[in-house]
Amino acid sequence: MPTIKDIEIYELGEMGAEKSSPWSSTILVVKMVASDGTVGYGEAPTTLMTLPVYEELKEMSRIFIGREVTEIQKNYMEVYKHSFYLPVSVESTAALSALEIASWDITGKIYGMPVYDAFGGRMREDVRAYANGWYDNCVSPEDFVAKAKAVVKMGFSGVKFDPFRDAYDNINAEQLDHAESVVKAMRSSFPKLDLMIECHGRFNANSAIRAGHALEKYNPLFIEEPVHPDQFEGLLRFKNEVSIPVALGERVMNSNLFLNYMTNSAVDVIQPDITNFGGMLQGKSVAAMAQAFGIEVAYHNAFGPIQTAATLNLDYTIPNLLIQESFEAFWPAWKKKLVKSGYSIENGRFSLAKGRPGLGITIDERIMEEYKVKGIEPFNPSEPAWVVGGTFAKPSATVKKRQRHGSK
């Protein structure tokens, strides 16, 4: 079988173009070349860690070079042996993910089959998506409703959004009232739309519980990361107090680490990210683990199109898929053009091109050359990179005045 001959790492981006998802202003793309000339692509996330992941990709490539490209599990375990902090270092797991995904792309091409066939074949013809990244610069309830109308016209039957403005750790009465007013307006305006509430892991348990109690009457499909990710006992308190299903997983760094959440009934929907927790094998195995607990899967998917293609190849194969995250409609033009063909999203549903080998995508290498960047991604001291742009806002003087006078 062919061996891995070469690995190239590309940092891609366009300064100022990423309006809705500043955490992915840059993406890291791996181009892996096998000894027979077959090329595969992978992707690693960058959230304020572009350079560390880039350097870790160079380090880890030394393990992959010269090894048989189709021996993916064996190569994974070789990395596990050498990378001492692998299960708890996102730099390591992200680098491994990109290399593992590229290996699957090549393996599928060598055998002339889609990666989804290697994982058991298709369970479905397409994949239901929900929109994220649509609400940049939304602060008021009216802002959210106005933008959501355009999203619904695109055909999406579910949307995720963060209504908490600048609340962090604690949430005061004014911030909570504001968040509820946003969710209430969304539910009133779109009674049949699935609403997913994004907390970004920002709250202590007491504040999360208050927020959950205020919002559960609006029947969200789930609430995501309601509690700081390192406060497991606080998450259990939230689960015992609030009836909204809990989703989490983008910061859980391998499939084994999900087990504690499952055995303690701490999660209802898992959201592993196959570009930061080890790749596609990990994504498939954790879905099988979740199935044993009756837990559904909604893979995290907030970076670039290679990630989407790889994730869809798993979505097609797992029986316990709930819904798939999509930023596609709200990307800058360069990111939309990076993948020339292979998957599409229409009327709120993803489709992979049938029968195409590997990940099934065609990369536009002209975009890879034209949008090369170098260095750390932009930093905004006024707004964390993990929020949708323009939403981490303090109330305006007009809003404060309206609230003091009790008007709506």
CB 17 within 8 A of CB 65: no
Instruction: Provide the angle, in degrees to the nearest 10, between the axes of the packed helices 90-111 and 305-315.
Output: 70
Side-chain half-sphere exposure of 249, counting CA atoms within 13 A? 35
Catalytic hit among 200, 213, 228, 405? 200
Q: Where are the alpha helices (DSSP H) in 4-114?
A: 50-64, 72-82, 90-111
Rounded-to-integer distance, Cα 168 and Cα 406, Å: 25
Among candidate residues 248, 192, 201, 200, the one with its CA nearest the CA of residue 219: 192
**Residue among 82, 178, 213, 300 flagged as catalytic:** 300
Which tokens in the block code for residue 203?
Answer: 């709250």
Find the radius of gyration of the CA atoms of the chain: 21
How far, in Å, CA of 263 to CA of 253, rounded? 17
- Catalytic (active site) residue 300: yes
Residue spans of alpha helices (H) in 197-323: 205-215, 232-241, 259-263, 280-292, 305-315
CA distance linking residue 71 with residue 204, whole number of Å: 43
CB 230 within 8 A of CB 204: no
Which residue from 145, 122, 47 is spatially nearest to 350, judged by alpha carbons?
Answer: 122
Q: Which residues does 68 contact at the CB level (< 8 Å), separation at least 6? A: 1, 2, 3, 4, 74, 75
From CA 233, how far away is CA 227, in angstroms rounded? 10
Tokens of 271: 């959201």
SS3 category, 159: strand
Active site residue 82: no
Contact between 272 and 255 (Cβ < 8 Å):
yes
* DSSP three-state, residue 288: helix
Q: Which residue has the tokens 């939309």?
A: 336
User: What positions carry a catalytic annotation?
Assistant: 200, 300
